[in-house]
Amino acid sequence: WSALITGYAQHGLGHEAIKCFKQMRDAGVSPNAVTYACILKSCGIVGCLEIGKDIDAEVRKQGLLEKDVVIGTALVDMYSKCGALERAREVFEQLQVRNVVSWNALISGYVQHEQGEDALKCFRQMQVAGVHPDAVTYVCVLKACAIVKALHIGEQIHNEVRKRGLLRNDVILGTALVDMYSKCNALQKAQDVFERLPVRNIVSWNALINGYAQNGHGEEALKCFWQMQDARIRPDVVTYIGVLKGCGIVGSLDIGGDIDAEVRKQGLFQENLVLGTAVVDMYTKCGALEEARE
């Protein structure tokens, strides 16, 4: 049962994992620590706080919270992902052992819910506690820096990850740096980091394109979009939103019209309100008010 539940949880199929857990119970099989950890992960995936609370009560009753750091961390993670951040902090404080994964669960929860200051405060407490951050920590902290526009802290993290050689093999960390610099309007630094990335995926390109567009640099956003296409990276909804914003800034109706046609062809226009709004906004800024109204 745990093997099957774990499989569902690892592949993000939270509802299926919870359904499987109920079937296991109906079959009279008692869960173990592995089962509980996976069900808590599943509750976090689907935002099922009530079942998560029931599991919390159950593991406490069995005394597992004191014995098992994995379950304790899974509880922190579940509460964090469900937005119950005060409860996540309470459970975290009750853990007898706090490793880097426990700290990451709490920091990422704050970041996920746009509480950048709390995430940075938590990161400082982690350092005081003598726990060494890993790549996951750095990614979360860079996201927190982007939320609160803490460029100075972001630069410190950049120096740290560079010294540790983490940028050589980690595209996620590199992309988080590009995104942080973009959101802090340090666009030259964002470009420099981007050019040094060993691999550039769609998320990396989107971070740079949207960074230029959000800071009013439409020409650069469009130039970056052409380079992305030359690199044979297929755009997604986030790319199109950034490019449409760039078209609106420079008044490029032709390119904006082409993007409109492309997103309709792919069936994205009807599915995504943000993308549809970006098309309206592009036509409005280009003075094509009849098209905008349509």
Q: Tens digits of per-residue pLDDT, 166-182? A: 888 888 999 999 999 99
Question: Rounded to an integer, what distance in angstroms lies between the CA atom of residue 222 and that of residue 233?
Answer: 15
pLDDT digits (tens, 9 = 90+) for 192-246: 999 999 889 999 999 999 999 999 999 999 999 999 999 999 999 999 999 999 9
Question: Rounded to an integer, what distance in angstroms lies between the CA atom of residue 39 and that of residue 24?
Answer: 12
Q: Which two tokens stand for residue 55?
A: 């599991």
Alpha-carbon torsion (261, 262, 264, 265), positive or negative: positive
Q: Note the pLDDT of residue 68.
A: 83
Question: What amino acid is encoded at 194 in this protein?
Answer: F
Kindly state the DSSP code that residue 96 receives in the 8-state scheme.
S
Global pTM reads 0.88
pLDDT digits (tens, 9 = 90+) for 61-90: 998 887 788 999 999 999 999 999 999 999
What secondary structure does DSSP assign to 83-131, as a single string? T-HHHHHHHHHH-S---HHHHHHHHHHHHHTT-HHHHHHHHHHHHHTTP
The answer to whether 259 touches 243, Cβ cutoff 8 Å, is yes
Question: Rounded to an integer, what distance in angstroms lies between the CA atom of residue 291 and that of residue 240?
Answer: 18
Kindly state the DSSP code that residue 216 receives in the 8-state scheme.
T
Q: Note the pLDDT of residue 72.
A: 92
The answer to whether 207 touches 174, Cβ cutoff 8 Å, is no
The answer to whether 39 touches 51, Cβ cutoff 8 Å, is yes
The answer to whether 123 touches 136, Cβ cutoff 8 Å, is no
Question: Rounded to an integer, what distance in angstroms lies between the CA atom of residue 73 and that of residue 33?
Answer: 12
Q: Which residue's structure tokens are 């902290």? A: 141
Q: Which two tokens stand for residue 291?
A: 């098209």
